[in-house]
Amino acid sequence: MADILMPKATAVWLIDNTTLTFSQVADFCGLHSLEVKGIADGDVAENMRGVDPISGGELTREEIRKGEEDSDYRLKKAESKIAHIPQPKRKGARYTPVARRQDKPDAIAWFIRNHPEVTDAQISKIIGTTKATITNVRDKTHWNSQNIKPVDPVTLGLCTQIELDEVISKAASKRKKMDTQKESELSGPGLRPAEETDAQSEAVDSDTPNADDIFSAFKN
């Protein structure tokens, strides 16, 4: 099943402009075949305007032709060209719409709980907040602390998944060092190798006089 932006509108266009079967249309649009039949009969999505998946870059004419020639063929979504365009680097502070600014403490709480390795400077940059706000959320001195709930910044619309992954990736090595140090502190100093312990024991035994040596010294 392809991930189509407007599945019903796309189904309307395919029904009106191709000879694809209901099953093929349903499979490509992620709909039930009965729902597609309802669209064709006018019982579903009545008066909905069709959306051309070819002009939208979601389907090619060649794929449609293959489907029309073989009713068992399953259409494949065209590869997105947008995904291969590198994301431009942002310069300056991030602008956050007023409606989203109240969500920043929730994003900060998410970083603090799930990714303590991410620095305050990184959090400040990715979601466009201040270090003072981060400190208040961490210390639970924020004016709205009782209502703050950890929510990832992508869900809140404060950054993209690519930006979030990049920040977390950069901080991954630091997290690994933190975990290693923590394990070392919990386990305490390690035991010395057995060879070293045995060698020391033998040295002590050889230096300690036995009873025969002591009595022979008195006889002489």
pLDDT in tens, 3-34: 777 889 999 999 999 999 999 999 999 999 89
Tell me: do 22 and 61 sit in the same domain: yes
Gap between the Cα atoms of 107 and 151, Å rounded: 5
Residue 200 covered by a domain: no
Residue 210 covered by a domain: no
Tell me: do 78 and 103 sit in the same domain: no
Residue 220 covered by a domain: no
Exposure of 162 in the CB half-sphere (CA atoms within 13 A): 8
Tell me: do 122 and 179 sit in the same domain: yes
Tell me: do 63 and 21 sit in the same domain: yes
Extract the tokens encoding 119.
């620095």
pTM: 0.41
Q: What is the pLDDT of residue 13?
A: 94
Tell me: do 104 and 70 sit in the same domain: no
Tell me: do 106 and 68 sit in the same domain: no
Q: What is the pLDDT of residue 135?
A: 93
Residue 209 covered by a domain: no
Dihedral sign, Cα of residue 118, residue 120, residue 122, residue 127: positive
Gap between the Cα atoms of 27 and 57, Å rounded: 18
Q: What is the pLDDT of residue 11?
A: 92
Q: What is the pLDDT of residue 2?
A: 55
Which stretches in the chain have pLDDT values below 50?
1, 82-85, 98-99, 204
Gap between the Cα atoms of 59 and 165, Å rounded: 29
Tell me: do 79 and 104 sit in the same domain: no
Q: What domain range is 157 assigned to?
A: 98-186
Are 77 and 2 in contact by the 8 Å Cβ rule? The answer is: yes
Gap between the Cα atoms of 167 and 126, Å rounded: 8
Tell me: do 73 and 153 sit in the same domain: no
- What is the secondary structure of 44-77 as a DSSP string? SSTTPPP--TTTTTS--HHHHHHHHH-TT----P
Q: What is the pLDDT of residue 64?
A: 94
Q: What is the pLDDT of residue 60?
A: 92
Residue 45 covered by a domain: yes
Residue 212 covered by a domain: no
Tell me: do 151 and 115 sit in the same domain: yes
Tell me: do 105 and 74 sit in the same domain: no
Residue 214 covered by a domain: no
Gap between the Cα atoms of 60 and 154, Å rounded: 31
Number of domains present in the structure of the chain? 2
Tell me: do 48 and 108 sit in the same domain: no
Q: State the burial class of residue 108 (Cβ atoms within 10 Å of its Cβ: 0-12, 13-18, 19+).
A: buried
Residue 90 covered by a domain: no
